Structure 1
Amino acid sequence: MRRVGGGMRRLCAALLCLCALGALRSSPSADACSCLLTHPQDAYCSSDIVIRAKVVGKKLLKDGPFGTMRYTVKQMKMYKGFNKMLHVQHIYTDASESLCGVKFEINKYQYLITGRVYEGKVYTGLCNFNERWERLSLSQKKGINHHYQLGCNCRIKACHYLPCFVTSKNECLWTDMLSHFGYPGYQSRHYSCIQQKEGYCSWYRGVSSRHKTTTNTTDP
């Protein structure tokens, strides 16, 4: 139990650091948990583990002030993390949503789950990218399968207020926050920022070859 608690304390500390950086998004179900707006590609690139899995069980571990929830998962596919572990059986998260614990439904949906590995265990939370698989766009699924990894050396630069500019060739300007449609926006759902042969990064829409387009870094 101590090993789980130590990992969770480090995870919560990292999440609190993120919350202090600004541009915060509040979870309506957990007012005390706020997270930086993150493009799915950044979430993929910063995660140790990315899997598609069905949650088949859960157990509350008596660890910390609110406990730790251990979810048992049936892994369908691993997209990232082969160097960490070949198969994920359990996902750990804080039992309290106010501390960024994430809630999964049991024996109901397949989820895309991203997380970090601490002491041989996979931890996730509300600030990680976790979503029901059927809610992902086709471009997001293609990104997870292939395109996102091509852009992990790129920087997705968030634009919250105009004017915004890219300042280096490895940047893609992310303007979803300016849209009145809210988050997640069009770029989050339909574009990847990948590196071209010339070394420049640009937005790429990962759809069928007949409709495939690449665009410059400022106007997706």
Structure 2
Amino acid sequence: MDTRGILLTVVILSLFNIFEISGMCPICPDKVHPQEAFCAADFVIKATVADLTYFDDDPLTANNDPQDQYKVFVDKVYKGNVTEGCYSYVWTLRDTLPCGVGLTLDETFLISGSNDEGELIVDPCGLHVFWGNVTSHMKIGINKRYEKNCQCEVGAGRCQVDPLLNEDCYCKYATCVVFTKTGCAPECKWKQSQSFTPCLSNGNP
């Protein structure tokens, strides 16, 4: 590996310092609502995975886990400073690790994460959804509705997911949006698609 490659590896490893071998992971629920992930992200893209490069533990940097670099073709940019219609690189921790994220070669995904000086980083709290599982309701969300309603947090006393109901139904068929009524303060409530109730009835995502 040349000097530039070594320096790049050191930089990327430092970006994952919260995922050190101690086992620390981001604090996030098992299911992160796509609206939360969208609003928290620096970038959100639709991308097709073209290649994968493995980076194992580097002897120059101690206590860091191996990570993967995915080469992706950016089909669509919904948020962030990413060039559409070009190849880019997405970094993750190895998917065999507790905090790792795995993407499948030649498949298209909805991906979100952080942008650190041009390096795109994906962690378990971000979006890494197979495009075939992105519902029409979610597509409306990533195109306009999520960004317009980022002031409405899912949870935190606002739009809360009923723990007795199927969480996937909220993720795929409901968005927390601002409702206004004359003379009243704005209020955040769930906006549900027609598929929400059938989803709950069927018990399927």
TM-score per shorter chain, which class?
Answer: 0.7 to 0.9
Q: TM-score, normalised by structure 1?
A: 0.70
Q: TM-score, normalised by structure 2?
A: 0.74
Relative distance call for 1:143 and 1:92 in structure 2 (3 A) is: same
Q: Name the CA distance, whole Å, in 1 between partners of 2:192 and 2:98.
A: 35
The answer to whether the Cα contact below 8 Å between 2:19 and 2:65 also exists between their aligned partners in 1 is no
Q: Which residue of 1 aligns with 2:4?
A: none
Q: Determine what percentage of the aligned residue pairs are the same residue.
A: 24
Number of residues of Structure 1 aligned to a counterpart in Structure 2: 173
Q: Name the CA distance, whole Å, in 2 between partners of 1:90 and 1:197.
A: 41
Q: Could you list the runs of 4 or more consecutive aligned residues of structure 1 that deviate by over 6 angstroms after TM superposition? A: none
Relative distance call for 1:134 and 1:93 in structure 2 (3 A) is: same
- Of 5, 17, 23, the match for 1:9: 17
Name the amino acid aligned to 1:106: L
Q: Which residue of 1 aligns with 2:151?
A: 153
The answer to whether the Cα contact below 8 Å between 1:100 and 1:127 also exists between their aligned partners in 2 is no
CA deviations over 1:152-208 (Å, ceiling 9, x no partner): 0012117xxxxxxx5xxxx22321x312xx441x2221111111345211222357x
Name the amino acid aligned to 1:205: Q
Aligned pairs for 1:55-74 within 5 A = 55-64=49-58, 65-74=64-73
1:86 aligns with 2:107: no
RMSD across aligned positions (CA): 2.4
CA deviations over 1:58-104 (Å, ceiling 9, x no partner): 1012345542200000000000113xx43560000012432422111
Aligned pairs for 1:44-193 within 5 A = 44-64=38-58, 65-82=64-81, 85-87=82-84, 89-107=88-106, 109-157=107-155, 166=157, 171-175=158-162, 177-179=163-165, 182-184=166-168, 186-193=169-176
Stretches of structure 2 that go unaligned for 5 or more consecutive residues are 1-8, 59-63, 195-205
| Structure showing greater Rg | 2
CA deviations over 1:29-74 (Å, ceiling 9, x no partner): xxxxxxxx32111111111110000000010123455422000000
1:18 aligns with 2:16: no
Higher RCO (CA-CA < 8 Å; seq separation 6+) = 2
Q: Name the CA distance, whole Å, in 2 between partners of 1:126 and 1:153.
A: 22
Stretches of structure 1 that go unaligned for 5 or more consecutive residues are 26-36, 159-165, 208-220
